[in-house]
Amino acid sequence: MSIRMLRTLIAVAEHGTFSAAAEAVFVTHAAVSQQMRALENQWQVQIFNRSKRTPEFTPLGLALLEKAIEVVRVYDELVPSVLGADALKDQFDLGVVPTTMTGLVPLATSMLKTKYKDLRIRLHPGLTTHLLNQVERNALHAALVTKPSMVSRGLVWTPIADEEMVLIASKDVEGDDARQILATHPFIRFSREAVVGAIIEGWLEDNDITVADTMELVSLEAISSMVMANLGVSIVPQPCVTAINSLPLRRIPLSDKPPKRQIGLVQRKGSTKMRVSEEITHALERAIDLGVFSPNTVAGTF
């Protein structure tokens, strides 16, 4: 069975005879007859009552015709549903690392909702490793994550932005030497279960810096609050989109060549949601260009 055969079957119903159907689908009368016989043999059913001069559909044939019309319609809409406007009228499950949820993700999502009112973005926070597994298992359509050391061959990686790591400290902490501050203040560590935490740990080891851990947290907001309370200092990524109401903390460069983390969008190869992923990528890039999450940038235009 092929779509071509189903189109011929529909043409017979629309034009009444094999001859008329042949003209409609640009084949010979014999070819139409052969295709219909082939369908009957494959399905092991009688589609036409051939006892009359003009073959008529049997009741079962009419039922199959109705399904054939539905199959051809779905086939014809297949590409538009993936690449066209229809692709932007459905739910999209997007995983996001928590560090992107205070500026980049809400600003980009707001832009998308303004432009595509029927697109439903459902956010799923999580750490990079977990989100990558979710995408591979088809539990998520895509995820905005920190680039790991290796990306599975079955996934497509689209870079979005690089974020430098900085030392954050309360306003009470004096000095601009990151090494000196790290040596003399308690250290609030970014969870080493996160890729960001591993990047920070690697930088500390490479530079032979020993810190006095006081706690290990996974939330950027929690770390910032602890630093604000003067309970220690920390190393975190400098957000590519900052929130207008961010805590008043000191942000001190680590070195002339600070470590960076790359955030990007990951999805499965051959995903049927490529059209939506492209629009999400554009929204993220637009949000980064604006750089600030504020009332003036929310729902900004593209």
Distances (CA, A) of 66 to 7, 59, 62, 73, 235: 12, 11, 6, 11, 64
Helix (H, G, I), strand (E, B) or coil at 180: helix
Given a cut of 80, is residue 80 above it in pLDDT?
no
* Amino acid making up residue 109: T
CATH value of 3-76 in 3.30.70.360, 3.30.465.10, 3.40.50.620, 1.10.10.10: 1.10.10.10
Every domain range in the chain assigned CATH 3.40.190.10: 87-161+262-293, 163-260
Question: CB-based burial of residue 159 (10 Å sphere; 0-12 exposed, 13-18 middle, 19+ buried)?
Answer: exposed
Instruction: Determine what percent of the chain is predicted with pLDDT higher than 70.
Output: 94
Highest mean pLDDT among 48-57, 111-120, 173-182: 173-182
**Whether the predicted pLDDT of 241 surpasses 80:** yes
Burial of 74 (0-12, 13-18, 19+ CB in 10 A): exposed
What burial letters (b/e) apply to 188-208, b meaning 16+ CB within 10 Å? bbbeeebbbbbbbeebbeeee
Asked if the model's pLDDT at residue 262 lies above 80, the reply is yes
Output DSSP code: residue 233: B
The DSSP code for 98 is G
Measuring CA to CA, which residue among 162, 161, 195, 174 is closest to residue 252? 174
Pick the CATH number of 163-260 from 3.40.190.10, 3.90.850.10, 3.40.50.2000, 3.30.9.10: 3.40.190.10
Asked whether residue 85 carries a pLDDT value surpassing 60, the answer given is no
Which two tokens mark 167?
């030392």
8-17, 72-81, 229-238: which range is least confident on average?
72-81
Burial label for 32, CB within 10 Å (0-12, 13-18, 19+), is: buried
Query: How far is the C-alpha of 35 from the C-alpha of 26, rounded, in Å?
Result: 13
At a CB cut-off of 8 Å and minimum separation 6, what does 255 contact? 178, 207
pLDDT digits (tens, 9 = 90+) for 145-167: 999 988 888 899 999 999 999 99
* CATH 1.10.10.10 segments of the chain: 3-76
Question: Distance of CA 206 to CAs 175, 202, 261, Å?
Answer: 23, 6, 16
Task: Return the CATH number of the domain spanning residue range 87-161+262-293.
Answer: 3.40.190.10
Rounded CA separation 168/258 (Å): 14
For 270: left if phi > 0, alpha if psi spans -120 to 50, otherwise beta; the answer is left
Question: In this predicted structure, what is the pLDDT of residue 275?
Answer: 84
Nearest to 287 by CA among 296, 300, 276, 277: 300
8-state DSSP, 22: H
Q: For residue 226, which amino acid is it? A: M
